[in-house]
Structure 1
Amino acid sequence: MSQLKNILQDMKRGYSIVSDGYRKVKNIAEGNFSLHEVFLDGLMVVSPEVKKYRRVADIISAQKAIVSEYRKSFKRLASADVLGSGELEYISRVYAGIFQGSMDNLDELAMVITSSRLRMDDQQRLEAIDRVFQDISGKLEFLRAFNRDASVLLELRKREAAGVKSVQDLFGN
C-alpha cells in the first residue's frame, strides 16, 4: 500500500511539473518571456552542469525571436494590401508550422531538463539540449530567410501597384 501511495505521489508530482511547464510555455508563446520562471523550477532537480548550460537560454532566446519576428513580419505583410488572401493564408500556414515546431522544441527541452521525466545522464541531457538548439536555430534561420523572401515579394508587388497606378494616371483611368 505504501508503494502505491508513493507511486501516486510521484505521478501527481510529474503531472504538476508538466502542467506548470505547459502553462509557462503558453506564456512564452504569448510574449511573457521569463527564463527564470520558465525553467529554473524544473532545473532544481537536475545537476548544476545541466542547470547552467548556456544552450537552455539560447533556446529560449531563439523561441522569443521566432515569435517576435513572425508576428512583426506577418503584421507588416497583412497590412500592405498588395498580397492576395491565398498568399496571406500560405504565409500564415508557414508561420504556424514554424511556431508549432518551435513549441515542440520547448516541450522536448522541458522533458530533458526535468529529471523526473526522462532517465538520462548529464551528458545525454546536454546532447539532447544541443539537438533541440540546432533544430530551433534551423527554424529561426528558415523564418528569417522566409521573411526576407516575403519582403522582396512585398516590395515587388508595391512597385507593380505603383506602376499600374502611374499608367492609369497617365491615360486618365
Structure 2
Amino acid sequence: MPLTNPWLAEPTPTGKLDREQLDERILNLLSSQNMCVLATAGPDGPLATPVRYYPLGFAVLFTAARRSPKLRNIAADPRVSVGVFAPLVGAASSRGAQLFGTARVLDPDHPDRAHYWEAFRWENEHAERGRPLSEPPRDTLVVIEADRIVYTEHWLSREGFAPRQFWRR
C-alpha cells in the first residue's frame, strides 16, 4: 500500500530550527487560531478550560469573570499552561503549542492594562452579547506571557527538523 506521507515513516529527524524560524512558526500559529485550553491547578485539582484568546506577540489574552473557577485557581497559583492547536486532519497536519507562564490578572484600573487591551478585540464579544460598541467593557483581563513554549509540527520532519521544538524567552 502506498504511503501518503512516507517521510512520517522514516526515523524522526532531530534538527533544530533557528530562533527566527521558530519564532515565526509560533507567532503564525498563535495569530491563526483563537481558541486555547487553559490549564490551572486549584484546591479541587487540575482544571482545563477552553478559552477564546487574542494574541500579542508570545502572550495570550482573555477576559474572565472575577468569580470564575479559573481565576480562583490563578489567584492560588498563577503558574499556568496553555494549549493552542490547529485543526487536525491527519498526522502530517499536527501543529500546536504548549505555552508555560505566569498569569497576570489586570483589573480595569491596572496601569498595564491599556498596553494589552489594544490587542483585545472586545467588539466581537460585545456584539455577541448585544452590548453597545460605544461603551468599551471594563472586564478583568488575563495576560499570559510565555516563558517557554513547546512547539509541535509534524510537517517539520519533511524538512529535516524535529517535529517538537523548544522555545524560551
TM-score strictly above 0.5: no
Q: TM-score range by the shorter chain?
A: under 0.3
Name the structure where strand makes up a greater proportion of residues. Answer: 2
TM-score between both structures, scaled by the size of structure 1 = 0.21
TM-score between both structures, scaled by the size of structure 2 = 0.22
Name the structure where helix makes up a greater proportion of residues. Answer: 1
